[in-house]
Amino acid sequence: MSVKNEFPEYSKVNILIVGTIRDVAGSIAKELTNISNAFSGSNKVKFILVESDSKDNTANEINKLRSDLDITLIEMGHLEDRMPLRTERIAECRNAYLKVIEKDEFSSFDLVVVADLDGVNLRLKKESVLKLWQTDVPWDVCFGNPKGRYYDLWALRHTEWCPGDCWVNYKTDRINRMNKFQAYQKNILSKMLNIPKDNPPILVSSAFGGLGIYRRIDLVGLRYQCINDKGGETCEHVSINSELTARGKKLYIMPFLENSGSTEAIRYTQFPYGIVIKFLSSVARFIK
């Protein structure tokens, strides 16, 4: 059954766009405007934004945008002192918007778009969004495809590509005396694949990549978790996505849904060069 038969017509769809923000005063207007344009043509678009720990004028900039965009801003204040883990703070803020979208006043909304709002979605286009209503793939959740090498491995779970937590695997290899460069190459770089936009949709049990589109009703009652069963940090998206997968929902990375450039990928691929320099320096001691 095609998605066209499962969802209302796009022109009748009501969409909530949610995200967490911190210190984005200089870029948030451009980002929200682009995302709003990408989802234009739907019946209604509303933003629910959760801010914490900003040291700039992020909240003021959001207030300036309210004349053009329908925005609810939730200010969480300063979380850093009582929640030193960044992942814990993000999960706390994400759970704040989950609690809001459960309210009766939002029951008429069909979809929830979870978006990173720090420059990750500036490539998102209306034409790509519309293809989600034209595909024959029966998706329940879909994720964006960052242009260039796919960087968001921490959120990714795929039976062959990335079946487990990439950073747990990296640390395990280091404990087993694999050197840093080899461990990083094996668990991170080798898995940062370039997904062509004409590739078929990729079925996953978890992903993110800066953009996730969910049915609102599927998120009711769920909460983000950032601590795994061994007490270590884990990506907060995995908890939500794994629960939906366990319920039989179909989650896909949609290659045509390009949402960002290669900035994040560059940040990840730069890391090994520092390791290489250290490695060569250590080798040099033995060949002098």
d(CA 221, CA 196): 35
- Cα–Cα separations (whole angstroms), residue 246 to 110, 203, 220, 255: 21, 14, 15, 23
**In this model, does residue 7 exceed pLDDT 60?**
yes
Q: How far is CA 112 from the centre of its chain?
A: 13
> Cα–Cα distance between 115 and 168 in angstroms, integer?
25
19 is a domain residue = yes
Q: For 185-222, b where at least 16 C-beta lie within 10 A, e where not — what string?
A: eebbeebbeebeeeeebbebbbbbbbbbbbbbebbeeb
- 249 in a domain, yes or no? yes
The range of the structural domain enclosing residue 111 comes to 3-164+193-261
- The pLDDT tens digits for 18-66 are 999 999 999 999 999 999 999 999 999 999 999 999 999 999 999 999 9
Q: Is 208 a domain residue?
A: yes
Burial readout 110-139 (b: 16 or more C-beta within 10 A, e: otherwise): bbbbbbbbbbbbebbeeebbeebbebeeeb
pLDDT tens for 66-111 read 999 999 999 999 999 999 999 999 999 999 999 999 999 999 999 9
Tens of pLDDT, residue by residue over 130-185, are 999 999 999 999 999 998 899 999 999 999 999 999 999 999 999 999 999 999 99
Q: Which residues, other chains included, contact 217 with Cβ-Cβ below 8 Å and sequence gap of 6+? A: none
Number of folded domains that form the chain: 1
Residue 276 confidence (pLDDT): 43
> How confident is the model at residue 245, as a pLDDT?
98
Angle between helices 180-187 and 166-175 (to 10 degrees): 150
Residue 277 lies in a domain: no
Is 170 among the domain residues? no
DSSP code at position 190: G
Q: Across the chain, what does the average pLDDT equal?
A: 90
Kindly report, residue by residue over 215-241, the tens digit of the pLDDT.
Answer: 999 999 999 999 888 888 999 999 999
Does residue 177 belong to any structural domain of this protein?
Answer: no
Domain CATH code at residue 92: 3.90.550.10
Question: CB-based contacts of 113: which residues, under 8 Å, 6+ apart?
Answer: 15, 16, 17, 18, 35, 39, 211, 212, 213, 214
In a domain, 281, yes or no: no
For residue 104, what pLDDT is reported?
97
Class of residue 46 by CB neighbours under 10 A (exposed 0-12, middle 13-18, buried 19+): middle
Establish if 205 belongs to a structural domain.
yes
